[in-house]
Copies of this chain bind each other. A is one copy, B any other.
């Protein structure tokens, strides 16, 4: 029996009309997608040519040439197509669709007779297909292209790319599986697993689910496939270019069977995609032990290894998780893609059980650690998202050498920008879900939706000025069903009115449930008071003891040197009640900035580095905090901190 208790409203049934997110969607439409198109076609001067489209042209026999780019270069084209699909879902554009159709025609031409499709192997290593699943991203690229195919099919009804990918998946299914003579393998970089679940839902073909189940369940069993594969290759590594002794299974979560993994380890994007696929699989197949395993990993990540911004992956070594409660703020990796993968994971967990703990984390990610990856111009991107940045350290110290003080432009390894584009353009698909009798509102994003609930299709709209204001107005369509509104963990209180009258809803797993017969014109107002708050971390989180993060609603704030001068660690705050909120449109329309009192350690009038303590030497000052996601959108980025001394 499936473990799906509620189904998200598909993207095409949700129209986002939101002060905050519509702007981000505009940036994705107007900046990221067109820029990425030029990038994958090598039309942007001053950046390393991507060669991504060219690789397909060469594989298709339309051009002569060598393969160029990363071994996973095809995924850049896939991610562009996927973002285009969502963009067409929310805002049709025949010209863009025609361009995408042309790319799909090219991809189809590049596909080989037997269904194979991966331009790196086709052009550069035609004899080595399926010999290095661990390192060479063949299945990863297949996953991304499959996601694009499903998204494009759902957006446009066109199934050409879907057919292409079904043929390739069929070939993979012939090559990989438990049967003798097949490879007992799985992706070195998970992604195909979650794509197979999507493909299964789009087509109804059980075989895809079975292949996914094989890959998830075989992973980490002995004998270790990646070790066997390495042996078969004569112990040669792809990335190190020479002899390789063994495979670090922890790096890609293949060190033990997934049900035995109790803590997140290794490369955080790989982890996020694997967990997403496994949770999806558990839900679709009713695999309760797998669902429990994913719950354990969810709890480990969110209760032990996640920054307050939602970022994960505390270290640059392996772009990886380190261990419980080890969340340094200045040497963090916190890759944008990893944060995005946790949004995907949250949605899969929510689908099994509507519990606000999943949606709270999703919200934490959406307003903080994901979009922090992009400048407000839509043209500069962070891969790493530190919670404390000292520009001099990023330049002069190895400990922060991977951190940038300013978002660079497009990278050669262009994973994060298109990942942001697909998350932002598909945001409508994360807001609402429904079961037979309940319509769930997980996110407070202004939008018009149609939901399958109470035996029919009902409209549901919401509006407000979230995340700057906690008053949300909802207009549920007529019908008898339960309206379940998430009460965020950050809200100390809340109130609900229906048609102007106070309503006392039941609380179920953090959702306020309004159970009644709805009539046209009904109007629900949810009020979530948003005072300025200080948040603190668990005492076991060594790095944040004695410090607080300023929050308002779901938004984590930070201090930047642009507002507060240098040496931000010399500041301490006292009482959140003394802060005032002020709308400041200069960075982002409607942005609320916070200003309040603080104490600053006085500069010493000697050159000494240490001295015996005397009486406290503090001076009163005023500080200004801006949303963390918006940091580094001004000239001065010498310093930034989230966790401020109290």
The residue that A604 contacts in the complex, of B397, B539, B569, B600, with Cβ under 8 A, is B539
User: Per a CB cutoff under 8 Å, which of B541, B548, B612 touches A535?
Assistant: B612
> What residues of chain B lie closer than 8 Å to A542, measured between beta carbons?
390, 567, 569
8 Å CB contacts to B: which residues of A535-587? Answer: 535-543, 545-546, 548-549, 551, 567, 569-570, 572, 576
Q: Is A331 an interface residue (CB 8 A)?
A: yes
Contact B302 A609 (CB under 8 A): yes
Asked if A613 is at the interface of the complex by the 8 Å CB criterion, the answer is yes
In the bound complex, how far is the Cα of B17 from the Cα of A273, in angstroms?
A: 67
Whether B546 lies near A645 (C-beta < 8 A) is yes
Interface digits, A453-474 against B, CB 8 Å rule (1 contact, 0 not)?
0000000000000000000000
Contact B613 A536 (CB under 8 A): yes
In the complex, what distance in Å separates the CA atom of A645 from the CA atom of B331? 21
A303 contacts chain B at the CB level, 8 A cutoff: yes
Q: A490: CB under 8 A from chain B? A: yes
* Interface contact B331-A538, CB-CB below 8 Å: no
Question: How far, in Å, is A276 (CB) from chain B's closest CB?
Answer: 21
Q: Are B570 and A534 in contact (CB under 8 A)?
A: no
A64-120 contacts to B (CB < 8 Å): none
Residues on the B chain within 8 Å of A304, using CB:
609
- A468-513 interface with B by 8 A CB criterion: 490, 492
Which of A34-42, A178-186, A311-319, A340-348 sits within the interface? A311-319
Residues B399 and A610 in contact, CB atoms below 8 Å apart: no
Q: Which residues of B contact A398 (CB under 8 A)?
A: 315-318, 322
The chain B residue with its CB closest to the CB of A548 is B613
User: Which residues of chain B are within 8 angstroms of A302 by Cβ–Cβ distance?
Assistant: 609
Closest chain B CB from A537 CB (angstroms): 6
Indicate if A393 sits at the interface (CB-CB under 8 A).
Answer: yes
Give a binary string over A318-345; 1 marks a CB under 8 Å from any B CB, 0 the rest. 1000110010101100000000000000
The answer to whether residues A397 and B326 also contact, given A539-B601, A539-B602 and a CB cut-off of 8 A, is yes
> Complex formed: what's the CA distance from A314 to B396 in Å?
11
A601 with B396: CB separation less than 8 A: no
Does residue A611 face the partner (Cβ distance < 8 Å to B)? yes
Interface bracket on A: 35 or more
Does A533 count as interface, using CB distance less than 8 angstroms?
A: yes
Say if the beta carbon of A290 comes within 8 Å of chain B.
no
Cβ-defined contact, B538 with A609, below 8 A: yes
Q: Which residue of B lies closest to A304 (CB)?
A: B609
A463 to B408, CA, bound (A): 63
Q: Decide if B315 touches A397 in the complex (CB within 8 Å).
A: yes
Contact between B570 and A539 (Cβ–Cβ < 8 Å)? yes
- Contact partner of A607 (CB less than 8 A), chosen from B303, B323, B646, is B303
Which B residues are in CB contact (< 8 Å) with A567? 539-540, 542
| A595 interface hit (Cβ, 8 Å) | no
| Residue A376 CB within 8 A of the other chain | no
Task: Point out the residues of chain B lying under 8 angstroms from A283, CB to CB.
Answer: none
Do A314 and B534 touch (CB < 8 A)?
no
For the complex, what is the distance from the CA of A542 to the CA of B645, rounded to whole Å? Answer: 11
Considering the chains assembled together, what is the distance between the CA atoms of A318 and B492 in angstroms?
A: 50
**Shortest distance from the beta carbon of A386 to any chain B beta carbon, whole Å:** 13
Check if A241 is an interface residue, CB within 8 A of chain B. no
User: In the complex the two chains form, what is the Cα distance from A600 to B326 in whole Å?
Assistant: 19
CB distance from A368 to the nearest CB of B (A): 12
Residues of B within 8 A of A645 (CB): 545-546
CA distance A281 to B349 in the complex (A): 70
Tell me, yes or no, whether A603 is within 8 Å of chain B by CB. yes
Taking CB atoms and an 8 Å cut-off, the chain A residues in 112-164 that contact chain B are none
Which residues on the B side are within 8 Å of A601 (C-beta)? 539, 545
Q: Is A288's CB within 8 Å of the partner chain B?
A: no
With A567-B540, A572-B546 as contacts: A306 and B535 at CB distance below 8 Å: no
Q: A303-B607, A490-B612 are in contact. Are A397 and B534 (CB under 8 A)?
A: no
Query: Do A328 and B399 form a contact, CB below 8 Å, given A609-B302, A610-B538?
Result: yes
Most buried by B among A306, A548, A600, A609: A609
For the complex formed, measure the closest distance between the CB of A616 and the CB atoms of chain B, giving whole angstroms: 9
- Check B536–A611 contact: CB distance below 8 A: yes
Q: Is the CB of A570 within 8 A of B548?
A: no
> Which residues of chain B are within 8 angstroms of A331 by Cβ–Cβ distance?
331, 399
Q: Say whether B322 contacts A393, CB under 8 Å.
A: yes
Nearest residue, chain B, Cβ from A364: B610
Say whether A314 contacts B397, CB under 8 Å: yes
Smallest CB–CB gap between A393 and chain B, Å? 6
Q: How many Å lie between the Cα of A600 and that of B541 in the bound state? A: 14
Q: Is A377's CB within 8 Å of the partner chain B?
A: no
Contacts of A490 in B (CB 8 A): 612
Cβ–Cβ contact B612 & A533, under 8 A:
yes
A410-422 near B? 1/0 per residue, CB < 8 Å: 0000000000000
Question: Is A26 located at the chain interface by the 8 A CB criterion?
Answer: no
* A635 close to chain B: CB less than 8 A: no
Does any Cβ of B come within 8 Å of A261's Cβ?
no
The answer to the question of A46 belonging to the interface, with a C-beta cut-off of 8 Å to chain B, is: no
In the complex, A393 Cα to B321 Cα: how many Å? Answer: 12
What's the Cα separation between A610 and B545 when bound, in Å?
A: 11
Q: 30 pairs across A/B with beta carbons < 8 Å?
A: A299-B607, A303-B608, A303-B609, A308-B609, A315-B397, A316-B398, A317-B397, A322-B393, A322-B396, A323-B396, A323-B397, A326-B393, A331-B399, A399-B399, A490-B612, A534-B612, A535-B611, A535-B612, A536-B613, A538-B604, A538-B608, A539-B602, A539-B604, A540-B570, A540-B603, A542-B569, A545-B569, A545-B570, A548-B613, A576-B613
Q: Which 4 A-B pairs have the closest CB atoms?
A: A317-B398, A539-B601, A539-B570, A322-B397
